Amino acid sequence: MADIVIDFHKGPPKIGLIVRGKQGPDHHPDKLAQHADTILGDGSPEGFFGEGNDGSLNALGLGMQGVVYDYALLRLHRAWYVDKASAVTNRVVSTVLLIDVDQPTADKFKDAWDKMTTSPGDFNIVGGNCATHASAAFIAAGVVSKTIPWMDTPDNLYQQLVDNLPAGRVVSYTGYIGFKTNPSGGYDMEITPYVASPAVAAPNPGSSGSLSTAGGSGNSSSS
């Protein structure tokens, strides 16, 4: 199956949600086997993570320092989130939801992430995780008006967006994804479509969970 390349400079403006560990639109990964990133209007990936694991409540994903990872930090800390070859090697499957928006909405979405980068606040696996912060950016941009129904998980945020947006404005892809710089600025997204296999790893190899802390082995938190 041929790779898919998304050029964010072509067609209407669009932003996106990436759910790591989600193996298709109808797949619902375990709560600690998923993570949420987003895609800005120029194709740049952005996500919220927790840093620090000092053996206290941090080990449970509570009271950690929040941090926003852009492409450069994702490349450093989560190469399998932005490099397609690494995603294939580590068997990291993601489902992407792209949303057609207007330019003011795309600008507001970027502004929300810029503010979060400057003042990220804490990371808490319950009510302050990666999905919580991604949801806040979608609300700030006016894409949705309410917080995530039920528990704050990436999969529930995906479902909220699908349920509340017109079908003609959204498209979903599942596969191994990566990002390449675009000569006009930002990034193109590359997707190798996923073919069902029993050997798919959790989204953060070497970690006991995702939702998503930024540290290494033994972290569990919600992204």
Q: What is the pLDDT of residue 210?
A: 55
Distances 129 to 86, 178, 202 between C-alpha atoms, Å: 25, 23, 17
Spatial distance between the Cα atoms of 15 and 114, rounded to a whole number of angstroms? 15
How far apart, in Å, are the Cα atoms of 115 and each of 9, 62, 67, 120, 137? 24, 22, 12, 8, 10
127-140 mean pLDDT: 94
By three-state DSSP, how is residue 1 classified? Answer: coil
pLDDT tens sequence across 60-97: 445 678 999 999 999 999 999 999 999 999 999 999 99
Tens-place pLDDT, residues 199-211: 455 555 333 345 6
Give alpha helix (H) positions in the chain: 71-77, 79-82, 84-89, 103-118, 130-140, 154-164
* Confidence at residue 63, expressed as pLDDT on a 0 to 100 scale: 61
Tell whether 208 is covered by a domain: no
Q: What pTM was estimated for this model as a whole?
A: 0.86
Do 74 and 82 contact (CB within 8 A), yes or no?
Answer: yes
Note whether residue 86 is domain-resident.
yes
pLDDT band of 122, cuts 50, 70, 90: confident
pLDDT of residue 127: 75
For the chain, how many structural domains are there in total?
A: 1
Distance CA 191, CA 71 (A): 16
Res 98: pLDDT:
98
Is 58's pLDDT higher than 60? no
197-69-181 Cα angle (round to 5): 75
Q: Are strands 14-20 and 187-193 parallel, antiparallel or unpaired?
A: unpaired
pLDDT of residue 62: 53
Q: Is residue 175 a part of any domain in this protein?
A: yes
Question: Would the pLDDT of 150 be above 80?
Answer: yes
What local confidence, expressed as pLDDT, does residue 206 receive? 35
186: which 2 tokens?
């930002």
Mean of pLDDT values over 36-56: 85
Q: Is residue 144 a part of any domain in this protein? A: yes
Mean pLDDT (the chain, rounded): 87
In a domain, 200, yes or no: no
What pLDDT is stored for residue 212 in this prediction?
Answer: 55
In a domain, 214, yes or no: no
Range of the domain at 17: 4-193
Reply yes or no on whether the pLDDT at 3 is more than 50: yes
Residue 126 lies in a domain: yes
* 219 pLDDT more than 80: no
Residue carrying the six token digits 């590359």: 190
Quick check: helix, strand or coil at residue 174?
strand
Is 60 among the domain residues?
yes
